[in-house]
């Protein structure tokens, strides 16, 4: 085995181990919650994240001390290995200095003066696929059915059923026509009982979008 190949394997194993074990354990005295680099199970158990039905993945949720934002993931999402969710951690670019003086000098008001900058929750819709090692920044909203390319850096809003990629992530195209997207968002198959979802797998795992929509309308 070549040295470069061995190093790549070791890096993958290291990432996997950090994802499985995490480095959680510290409790934020301000919020009483875990903070650090949390696995999805750790983030969910501590209330830092909520994960919808049948969604899966090996992502890391980065939560800093003093952060109150959450990660919210919808149903039937696929999150690839190495994905990073940054719930907070932004410095104050609107202040004279971005330096966290009170925190690092132990001054009164540390962690309570608005640094780090308060953020909105990260919201991931339903049936979203996030590719390997993508990074999702604080306050991002990703719509239902969207696809995020590998190693993309995502911020702001991603339209439903959009495919985005790059640094920073930009929309490449929509997966389907605007009419089909509108109808899929109205159908909301991810809210169906699981029995109906499983019965619909032949149509869901199929490129005939209009055929699926016709069947969904006929079934009410």
- pLDDT reading at 158 higher than 70: yes
**Strands (E) located in the chain:** 26-27, 34-39, 49-51, 56-57, 60-63, 71-73, 78-79, 84-86, 122-124, 129-130, 135-136, 141-142, 147-148, 153-154, 157-158, 162-165, 170-174
pLDDT attached to residue 9? 63
pLDDT greater than 80 at residue 22? no
pLDDT over 80 at 62, yes or no: yes
| Reported pTM | 0.85
Specify the pLDDT at position 24: 56
pLDDT confidence of residue 31: 76
Cα–Cα distance measured from residue 189 to residue 77, given in angstroms and rounded to the nearest whole number: 13
For the segment 170-209, what is each residue's pLDDT rounded down to a tens digit?
999 999 999 999 999 999 999 999 999 999 999 999 999 9
The question of whether 115 is a catalytic residue gets the answer no
8 Å CB contact between 23 and 37: yes
**Catalytic entry in 91, 188, 196, 217:** 91
pLDDT score for 8: 63
Domains and CATH numbers, the chain: 3-175 (2.160.10.10), 176-220 (no CATH)
Report d(CA 55, CA 128) in Å as an integer.
9
Mean pLDDT of the chain: 90
Strands 157-158 and 122-124: unpaired
Give the pair of three-digit tokens for residue 106.
Answer: 């132990």
At residue 104, does pLDDT exceed 80? yes
User: Stretch 77-86: mean pLDDT, rounded?
Assistant: 97
Indicate if the pLDDT at residue 17 is higher than 60: no
């Amino acid at each position: 085995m070549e040295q470069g190949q061995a190093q790549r394997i070791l890096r993958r194993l290291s990432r996997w181990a950090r994802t499985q074990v995490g480095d959680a354990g510290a409790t934020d005295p301000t919020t009483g919650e875990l903070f650090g680099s949390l696995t999805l199970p750790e983030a969910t158990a501590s209330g830092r994240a909520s994960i919808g039905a049948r969604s899966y993945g090996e992502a890391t949720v980065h939560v800093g001390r003093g952060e109150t934002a959450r990660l919210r993931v919808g149903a039937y999402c696929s999150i690839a290995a190495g994905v990073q969710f940054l719930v907070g951690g932004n410095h104050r670019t609107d202040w004279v200095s971005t330096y966290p003086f009170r925190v690092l000098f132990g001054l009164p008001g540390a962690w309570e003066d608005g640094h780090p900058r308060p953020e909105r929750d990260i919201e991931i819709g339903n049936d979203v696929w996030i590719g390997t090692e993508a990074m999702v920044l604080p306050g991002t909203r990703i719509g239902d059915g969207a696809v995020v390319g590998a190693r993309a850096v995502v911020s702001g809003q991603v339209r439903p059923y959009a495919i985005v990629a790059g640094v920073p992530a930009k929309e490449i195209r929509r997966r389907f026509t605007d009419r089909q997207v509108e109808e899929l968002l109205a159908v909301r198959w991810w809210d169906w009982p699981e029995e109906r979802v499983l019965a619909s797998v032949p149509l869901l795992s199929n490129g005939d979008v209009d055929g699926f929509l016709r069947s969904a309308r006929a079934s009410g």
